[in-house]
Structure 1
């Protein structure tokens, strides 16, 4: 209480002192106006007139001073708004004083020029005393001991951050120059900081001015532009920092505290910010939602976004307890109570039927899948049992229990697959298309590429290798991949789910494919190292089942725009007959359950004529595993496929 009273008294005392200072300057400016007007030799009659009317002038000045609340401003933070208010206050009080002297009192002897000189002097005095504390406060902004910052981008964000650095000398930054591609800005100064040149001269500018850090102040720049800047900085061992993306700036204000290290997310194409979230709320709010594979990267993010849309119940299914435990705890800590974490296996028919009967989901997102390409090459039977059989079992349960919508999460590796994982997801896509033709449930598939930072993806692997000092291993220098942030990919999946009417296949527009080598080199740069100097890149050759370039759409498919930006509908031109699909899938699952690898691979090629597997190395014991038990539907060449050893038994209902 005593502290509050002390603070209040200090504020009152400060206002009184400011008020008295203002009146003192008003008196000084009036006296100075007479001295200037009469060249320092003021006639006695004029001195008497000055002193007689001075109290009236001060009273009018004081009355005009109050409504503009000029006593509340902190002089060291004086801005153009304060100067505007000060000018209005002086102009208003001067006009009132002129009216009282000329019209009210009828005094004509008071020189007209005094009114103007007095007003101008008072404005200069007032702005001067306000500017001095700010100048004293900012005099240290160019001092030593601060990081020399080169700012890329001389737009509004760059100008604001320089002003913030000047206003906060304790920030530890000293801007030494701007880099901007606008030729009209080059050579000019912004808040006293010169625009040194364009991005073409970036290496030359760094060599000449030796900054300690580069700040990319382009919140609205395209990721391709950011990548160009990072590439230009490759020869220099400099940390790269940036400001929040434009979509993350809640207000048109940039502060020093918002500066952060550039991250790999800044190098990726982002989802448009104008997607309306309300249709998603209409889809999920009040619904009973089931997410399979809820403990994985995609499944857990689906759970987070679905939970925020207020479903009646969120059922989270996974057969691995650790990931499920983590996301369930996270959601409960965030206040989401209508959740049901369930340990279960999508390949167990009885278990899935009991789950659907108990929770009666109305919306299902099927994200459970084996996705590691090299592992599935060595375990093709397990890939089929989980990715094909699991999808069929959950989809048929959804059909039996009349779920409203069922969304399969697929992958770009299902397009012209060369891997078992991609082929198994391709068969799952066909199953959904077949079911969508006859079921009351709206079955749909969403296909997209790599999501940044997902379990087992390349970026976390690169970061671990960089942390260990290298080398960073890359399969092939020509390898390119689509990348998207997991939160944004899931956001688009939800929008695609809203569009589903039955049997559709959607793809997410993932932007341009990014070179994996470029991604690795950028990650090394962002970690503060120089590629090929501090951290070595090693090329190890393609792993089994890997493509150099992934595809989102096959040759026999075409895409059409939908009502949602970045979500495209895939239309197949093949006119494929799916009548034998159920029979072939039954044989495929049976062969997988028996561990018959060659038959599994042959059936995958029969179901997917565009599946062209690469030869797989010998089994761990060094001997090829060849099984000639091929059904009559298989092509003759199927028995000649050399495979890894099959996995063993799998629990089946």
Structure 2
């Protein structure tokens, strides 16, 4: 029903209630026989009340309220509108007629109007609440969290079309004072330890986690309990994830793997970041990639003078450009299609735009592919980085931040070894350059292109099997936005030559990750979806590390960022090894690997 039609129906109903209330009041006052002398006063009182009370109802927005979600606030406003309207109507009638309406009639009119107007509105709410209760096929729901957000969800379940066919059974809350109490008419049935038994007893189909202000580690524990029940689990995001900080049922979403990490939001020193990014020309290489594109999104919010999006693939650069132009129309963007392996092209870009800050995210990162193509890994990850770093030094860049990887630590893969060589090169550059060169090292990011999560999702969507290389393989994981926030923050701490290491939390078993994804998709691992073990691929190792044996870390101003102490690197030795690398490019893989092993002492090839 349209707003206009609904408003006219309510207005007509209210006018009818006003006339009925006044007529009934007069009949009660005179025992059903109204004297003729009072009849014309009754009509004047009714006409005046229609105009004045109608105006008061409009003034208090009684026709712009959703009565199916009515609460104490709506009751108070309705009472105020009726009370003020009745008092003003009483006084206005007294002035017009020269004598007052009997006080007993005015009082009874007020009582009847309150009863009928309030009752008619809340009768509609009750009809909406009970609309789906009689459905035998209704699915049972359980809400975890009996606070304000939980009450909001309960109201939506009872009244919204979105939850048609759903029945709320009750709440779960760890607060002992709420146990056995009723919230929004439904019982608080126990704490989180009771979830499994309640799901089984009441055949719960959906669990909604409504704990937006709880710590993420606490939410992670609740998710762990819920996912073992077999019920579908949905969640209201943390307050920090909501743009305005306001709760909205529309934010309800399925639980993602990111929620299982249980890490609290990153705290950013905004002033420190603004000091080196704001009003500066910032270049992001690999701007179309997973990390590069997120760097662009977050940097754009810090008001750079100009943001340069450099990438080799035109489609990915076009995609991030269109997104940024829509989200940040005030930011000056320049798109640069270029290959970092092309030294002359890099010189042209730096000479033309003179970037003051460089985030170097361009790299070949797929371990098995680089094992089969070691020359390409060297050309892009080593010599490409050298080209960008040399240009940064030559054209006066203030800060150069390179995205590195935990695979650079005691590398067993070509990809990891080439990233370690790139780290060594920028550390050696820092000795003689006015540019502050730093690297930021972290592990896997959830959802990046070619990572394990999208692959698992594709396999689950296809009905399985889900392939895991080894049951004991573990990796560090963090979300893309989390990693990028810390990268930008680490850049503000740069003094030159550091390798910053991000706190990745606890390592996660890939097998457990696969099982969680299967359960979150509504299936049972090895029952509905099979997990197959395929064996470790070339270049992989069971455990990743964040530090070499000779590196040591110290804390920074940020509790999630550490800095590895710089290792002394001979620039002349490194240049000589680079010349050897250039000579063996394109030759057999063994020759390329042999030179890599000379440069990276900890590189051990896995057969």
- After TM superposition, list the pairs within 5 Å mapping 1:327-346 onto structure 2: 327-328=320-321, 330-331=323-324, 338-344=333-339, 346=340
Is residue 2:175 matched to residue 1:207? no
C-alpha deviation, 1:399, in angstroms: 0.6
Task: State TM-score, norm by structure 1.
Answer: 0.78
| Alignment deviations for residues 11-58 of structure 1 (CA, whole Å, 9 cap, x no partner) | 5675365245235325535765x69xxxxx89x9x9999989978986
Specify the SS of the correspondent of 1:422.
helix
Specify the SS of the correspondent of 1:384.
helix
Q: For residue 462 of structure 1, what is the aligned residue in structure 2?
A: 456
Q: Quick one: structure 1 residues 371 and 170, their matched pair in 2 at CA, closer, same or farther if it must change by over 3 Å?
A: closer
Decide whether the 8 Å contact of 1:584 with 1:607 is kept in 2. Answer: no
Task: State TM-score, norm by structure 2.
Answer: 0.83
Structure 1 distance, partners of 2:345, 2:89, is 90
| Alignment deviations for residues 100-155 of structure 1 (CA, whole Å, 9 cap, x no partner) | 999xx9x99x89x9987776565444432332222223321313154332222222
Is residue 2:568 matched to residue 1:576? yes
Structure 1 distance, partners of 2:66, 2:306, is 57
Decide whether the 8 Å contact of 1:230 with 1:522 is kept in 2. Answer: no
Q: For residue 413 of structure 2, what is the aligned residue in structure 1?
A: 419
Decide whether the 8 Å contact of 2:239 with 2:246 is kept in 1. Answer: no
Specify the SS of the correspondent of 2:428.
helix
CA RMSD after TM alignment: 4.1
Q: Quick one: structure 1 residues 614 and 150, their matched pair in 2 at CA, closer, same or farther if it must change by over 3 Å?
A: same
Q: For residue 488 of structure 1, what is the aligned residue in structure 2?
A: 482
Specify the SS of the correspondent of 1:275.
coil
Decide whether the 8 Å contact of 1:231 with 1:522 is kept in 2. Answer: no
Structure 1 distance, partners of 2:117, 2:90, is 21
| Alignment deviations for residues 402-441 of structure 1 (CA, whole Å, 9 cap, x no partner) | 1222111111122233333222222222222222232111
Specify the SS of the correspondent of 1:302.
helix
Structure 2 distance, partners of 1:10, 1:180, is 39
Decide whether the 8 Å contact of 2:403 with 2:439 is kept in 1. Answer: yes
Structure 1 distance, partners of 2:275, 2:18, is 60
Specify the SS of the correspondent of 1:184.
helix
| Alignment deviations for residues 466-504 of structure 1 (CA, whole Å, 9 cap, x no partner) | 223222222233322222222332233223333333223
Q: Quick one: structure 1 residues 380 and 133, their matched pair in 2 at CA, closer, same or farther if it must change by over 3 Å?
A: closer
Where structure 1 has 5 or more consecutive residues not aligned to the other structure, the ranges are 1-5, 36-40, 617-653
Q: For residue 297 of structure 1, what is the aligned residue in structure 2?
A: 290
Structure 2 distance, partners of 1:222, 1:378, is 44
Decide whether the 8 Å contact of 2:430 with 2:437 is kept in 1. Answer: yes
- After TM superposition, list the pairs within 5 Å mapping 1:456-535 onto structure 2: 456-535=450-529
Aligned with residue 353 of structure 1, among 331, 347, 350: 347
C-alpha deviation, 1:506, in angstroms: 2.0
Q: For residue 132 of structure 1, what is the aligned residue in structure 2?
A: 123
Decide whether the 8 Å contact of 2:7 with 2:63 is kept in 1. Answer: no
Q: Quick one: structure 1 residues 553 and 55, their matched pair in 2 at CA, closer, same or farther if it must change by over 3 Å?
A: farther
Is residue 2:188 matched to residue 1:195? yes
Decide whether the 8 Å contact of 1:291 with 1:365 is kept in 2. Answer: yes
Q: For residue 537 of structure 2, what is the aligned residue in structure 1?
A: 543
Structure 2 distance, partners of 1:97, 1:341, is 73
Q: Quick one: structure 1 residues 431 and 65, their matched pair in 2 at CA, closer, same or farther if it must change by over 3 Å?
A: same
Bigger drift between 21-30 and 480-489 goes to 21-30
Q: For residue 155 of structure 1, what is the aligned residue in structure 2?
A: 147
| Alignment deviations for residues 261-291 of structure 1 (CA, whole Å, 9 cap, x no partner) | 2222332345636636676566445433332
Decide whether the 8 Å contact of 2:581 with 2:595 is kept in 1. Answer: no
Where structure 2 has 5 or more consecutive residues not aligned to the other structure, the ranges are none
Specify the SS of the correspondent of 1:72.
coil
Q: For residue 28 of structure 1, what is the aligned residue in structure 2?
A: 24
Decide whether the 8 Å contact of 1:75 with 1:131 is kept in 2. Answer: no
Specify the SS of the correspondent of 2:259.
helix
